[in-house]
Structure 1
């Protein structure tokens, strides 16, 4: 389906400084060889990470490594990092005491960590150390849908790519729902990431609440469907409604 190729992505992988044009067809397959760039290819088995390893990977959680900041209602940060095996990762750092019970946090993380799908930025680990609560996921080097929609006005996304985003994220949501994770917390354009091939993926971070008592749905009324505002019902169609609104933004 060559119509879904796009000239939009000329991303820069964190491992090198040169630009590249990745325009895979919609039905392309990822490389099967184990010799793939760090952060790509085979997804590692979900596991517990040492805080010291994540601290080293993110250069002591340097502000230079921050790739995403949430709002005041959910003040947590996402950092990029590089492990000793050269794999690039994304690390979500929760606020102190967001999850007071380490067992509860670990159980939630393991539940999401079982999911594996090519349309997800898969969760590969977690960390509970004292009051620290962190999630570790595959790193997506080509930024978020939000940046492409709202921050690069002179480089709009072609409709072919918007359709690809709609299809791929719908596939991710359908998979999560089938696997027992029908709720996606605060779905927005910042949750849609682009991998090294320029393909959209849904962040697994949104499958866990920002805190033990956090809300399960978007607090952004612009992305809230009418039936939820009326009676609070939350179904899969609510998530689809939100994600289609995101794709249609700035058309």
Structure 2
């Protein structure tokens, strides 16, 4: 398999749980990386983020510290007309900094210790981690009891918006595969290029943001955790995340692994293919949970076309659909060890996204048999991971 190599994690690095992380990996505006280009996130006593006392981290040159006045000015005093999103975490406003840069300003609702810890984790994570498929953190504000985060502005909003808002133009099959590849590359960076690996823990369509070209970036790292190191197979933590996206073993036991993110990614793939929400209480009880509803369709290739988003109007290749469903089904394996590695998923999705546009626009509602050459190419990109345990990428 063309897997990317991960560096061997240091055995003295333990899971971050509101404790200390070395933020000195940003020195003079540059990240400290090892010879393989992997980002080190080892703990140190030199720069500490202590969730218990509510102190915020010293970020050096990694992210800009804004005053509340600056951000109030940028958002026109947080005018409702500038509101572009919101939820239990708080509100997101479109703003324009004094420099003219258009940004997204997230004003957090801090509910005690947990809210402040999530703020600290997000600032630390996004200041240390840099990748084309992760949203760029520009700065933060900690004036008094204010906790705000300033991000690059993603013009096209969230994937959730484009899939489920009736006012949005339907996404084409090729755009959906492009978004899937971008999101997978972001997860691959977290799992395979960071030491120790990072478990995203909140992968869902609302956390995948899109720019003008529909390039996708992962956002909202408040629930991210450092993954298992050494001989450890998991980290134990309080169950967090979003119902409908959480891996079953994590929801039941609190045991979090890299494969927990893979399950969540499978749910996002399912949303991309079907145009259905992970949880939709407006549907009949049998159809409210997307994964449960999809199981019979995933198992029967003859039924794959019947689960596709009707807004696609048949504009996709039946062969590409079968491969996409196969990737999705393996991500949604109930036994975590049977789920694929993210690097294998990236390879398979890159194959699907690379198919010429005209081949995608074949008749999708008739049964077709793949050509021998297509089968050979598909096998090269297939996921030969059944029975794999957690191993380095």
Paired residue for 1:160?
A: 174
The number of equivalent residue pairs is 199
Cα drift, residue 242 of structure 1: 1.1
**Structure 2 counterpart of 1:62:** 79
1:43-192 pair list within 5 angstroms: 46-70=63-87, 74-96=88-110, 98=112, 105=119, 109-152=123-166, 155-177=169-191, 178-179=193-194, 180=196, 182-192=198-208
Q: Secondary structure at the match of 2:262?
A: helix
Specify the alignment match of 1:12 in structure 2. Answer: none
> SS of 1:132's equivalent?
coil
Q: Shift in Å at residue 45 of structure 1?
A: 5.2
Assess if the C-alpha contact under 8 Å between 1:82 and 1:89 holds in 2.
yes
**Aligned residue for 2:216?**
200
Partners of 1:97 and 1:131 within 8 A in 2: no
Query: Once the two structures are superposed, what CA deviation does each residue of 1:80-132 show, in whole Å capped at 9, x if it has no partner?
Result: 11001110111111124545998995575134212211111111111100000
C-alpha distance in structure 2 between counterparts of 1:164 and 1:217, whole Å: 28
The one of the two structures with greater contact order (alpha-carbon pairs below 8 A, sep at least 6) is: 1
1:103/1:151 CA distance change after superposition, 3 Å: closer
TM-fit CA distance, 1:135 = 0.8
1:240 aligned partner: 262
1:218 counterpart residue number: 241
- TM-score scaled by length of structure 1: 0.69
- The runs of 5 or more residues in structure 1 that have no matched partner are 1-43
What do the CA deviations read for 1:163-209 (whole angstroms, capped 9, x no partner)?
21221111111212332462324322111111132211111xx2124
1:215-243 Cα shifts (integer Å, max 9, x gaps): 663131x2122222343221122112212
- Structure with max Cα Rg: 2
Whether the 8 Å CA contact 1:89–1:136 is kept in 2: the answer is: yes
Q: Residue 185 of structure 1 contacts residue 216 of structure 1 at CA under 8 Å; is this kept in 2?
A: no
1:153 to 1:233, Cα distance in 2 relative to 1, 3 A: farther
Question: 1: distance between equivalents of 2:79 and 2:151?
Answer: 18
Cα distance in 1, alignment partners of residues 114 and 205 from structure 2:
29
Aligned partners of 1:173, 1:145: CA distance in 2, in Å? Answer: 16
2:246–2:264 Cα contact (<8 Å) kept: yes
| C-alpha distance in structure 1 between counterparts of 2:117 and 2:162, whole Å | 38
Q: Deviations over 1:143-180 (max 9, x none)?
A: 11011111137732222222212211111112123324
Any conservation in 2 of the 1:144–1:193 contact (CA below 8 Å)? yes
Q: TM-score, normalised by structure 2?
A: 0.46
Q: Retained in 1: the 8 A contact 2:161–2:168?
A: no
CA contact (8 A) 2:94 2:102 kept: yes
Higher helix share: 2
* Aligned Cα root-mean-square deviation (Å): 2.9
